[in-house]
């Protein structure tokens, strides 16, 4: 199941950071909050991401293009430093689609901009990229909503319209087959 993450806001409440970096790139430890949100979904098997980019999209793209797994994982260095062998990897099985959805776009506009990437999806997850949770996101929580025939559900603080074109809130599971 694909995960749509909204990464385009200006981060007005984080002015000391947001003048230099977008809110999803604010560090939590030595990684940006966006990485932690993505890791949360990956933990539950959701490893295909669509990032709706806006403000400072370049910083988010650059982070992942220059991502160095040796910073956060064990590795073996050999052949005088010419060969690096990772013992473990954290993002090698992720698929990330980067979509510039506009600087002034609202959530509904951003979702509409990535609609083409969701055409074949019966259901997808959507969330803001700046909030972390330790709530379990098991397969049973997603199949329950599918079985009830719901078109949208509240997983955290979501409010999502039944049609695919309008959305506000975060943490939504969306059934696109309705």
Let me know: does 170 contact 127? Beta carbons within 8 Å: yes
pLDDT per position as a tens digit, 63-74: 999 999 888 889
121-131: average pLDDT: 89
149 compared with 9, residue with greater pLDDT? 9
Q: What pLDDT sits at residue 62?
A: 96
Q: What is the CATH class of 2-175?
A: alpha beta
Give the span between the Cα atoms of 43 and 38, in whole angstroms: 9
129-145: average pLDDT: 71
Q: Is 34 exposed, middle or buried (0-12, 13-18, 19+ CB in 10 A)?
A: buried
Q: Is 117 exposed, middle or buried (0-12, 13-18, 19+ CB in 10 A)?
A: middle
Give the span between the Cα atoms of 55 and 176, in whole angstroms: 28
Indicate whether 15 pLDDT > 80: no
pLDDT per position as a tens digit, 24-68: 998 888 899 999 999 999 999 999 999 999 999 999 999 999 999
| C-alpha closest to that of 156 among 126, 176, 177 | 126
């Amino acid at each position: 199941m694909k995960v749509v993450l909204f990464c385009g806001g200006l981060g007005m409440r984080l002015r000391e950071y947001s003048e230099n970096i977008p809110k999803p790139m604010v560090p939590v430890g030595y990684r940006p909050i966006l990485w932690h949100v993505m890791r949360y979904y990956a933990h539950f098997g959701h490893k295909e991401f669509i990032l709706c980019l806006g403000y400072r999209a370049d910083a988010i793209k650059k982070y992942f293009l220059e991502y160095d797994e040796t910073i956060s994982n064990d590795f073996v260095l050999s052949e005088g430093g010419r060969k690096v062998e990772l013992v473990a990897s954290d993002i090698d099985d992720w698929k990330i689609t980067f979509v510039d959805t506009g600087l002034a776009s609202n959530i509904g506009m951003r979702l509409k901009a990535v609609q083409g990437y969701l055409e074949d999806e019966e259901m997808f997850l959507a969330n803001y990229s700046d909030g972390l949770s330790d709530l379990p996101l098991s397969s049973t929580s997603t199949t329950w909503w599918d079985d009830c025939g719901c078109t949208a559900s509240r997983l955290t603080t979501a409010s999502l319209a039944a049609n695919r074109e309008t959305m506000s809130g975060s943490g939504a599971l969306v059934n696109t087959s309705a």
